[in-house]
Amino acid sequence: MKIVIIDDERLAREELRTLLSDLPELEVIGEAANVTQALKLLPRLQPDLIFLDIEMPGRTGFDLLEALPPPHPQVVFVTAYDAFALRAFEVNALDYLMKPVHPQRLAQAVARVRGQLARPEEPVPPPADLSTPLKEDDRVYVRDGERSWFIPVRTLHLLEAEGNYTRLHFGTETALLYRTLNSMEARLPAALFLRANRSQLVNISHLDKVEPWFSNSLKAKLRGGPEIEFSRRQAQLFRDRLSL
């Protein structure tokens, strides 16, 4: 697999080249420090894959993809910012790596590109099944109407049932998904999320204060959020699970 690295930071290019040298059957055939250099280099070298930074002086990685004549190589973005993830997948990037790049994530990205190059007539593999369990460090795509976000699972602090829908609370935002609270609970990491009552699921890492309430229930305050009540049964589960 022939690779070109495009990044305005020399040390970032060197680090990525070093990591790629540990993976078999890869050859870095060129580097570019900006979009102008890349536009001259890529048509001549015709790489299979480019590792592309987004924010560079003058023009961005997205500007490069718009200006690059076909055929286009496969693209893996490598950036220090997560704010561009949604747009990256809109332009059919195969992966989105955060700096500093972890060797295991890099290997996964290369494996994904290999699979795509081996089956060029097939579409990009569909996203994971909605029943796939999530981990605390996973990021999820959330869409509500015309608004969308790409957020870490751990930033969800409260989920509330609204009939067959679930309202997600994260940061200062909310989003309504057509999924039941039960299905959301089954997918989210049990070590982090606990059912407070029939209609609320809470991220226990966001709890600020918990105090006894009526009939052996508990009243809890979320950091920067509302107060919620743990039912008597769920309050006992909370005590059993989290008491010293």
What's the pLDDT at 86? 75
The per-residue pLDDT for range 44-94, each reduced to its tens digit, is 999 999 999 999 999 999 999 999 888 889 999 999 988 888 788 777 888
Q: Is 57 exposed, middle or buried (0-12, 13-18, 19+ CB in 10 A)?
A: exposed
Q: Which residues pair with 161 in a beta bridge?
A: 166
Q: What is the distance between the alpha carbons of residues 157 and 173, in angstroms, rounded to a whole number? A: 11
DSSP string spanning 172-229?
Answer: TEEEEESS-HHHHHHHS-TTTEEEEETTEEEEGGGEEEEEE-GGG-EEEEETTS-EEE
| Amino acid (1-letter code) at residue 3 | I
What's the pLDDT at 124? 43
Which residue, among 68, 5, 75, 62, has the nearest Cα to 33 in the 3D structure? 5
Q: Is the pLDDT of residue 182 over 80?
A: yes
What's the pLDDT at 48? 94
Q: Is the pLDDT of residue 122 over 60?
A: no
The per-residue pLDDT for range 22-36, each reduced to its tens digit, is 998 899 999 999 999
Average pLDDT, the chain: 89
Q: What domains, with CATH codes, occur in the chain?
A: 2-118 (3.40.50.2300), 139-242 (2.40.50.1020)
What's the pLDDT at 130? 56
Share of the chain above pLDDT 90, in %: 66
Structure tokens at 103: 């060797």
Tokens 């420090």 identify what position? 33
Averaged over 193-212, what is the pLDDT? 94
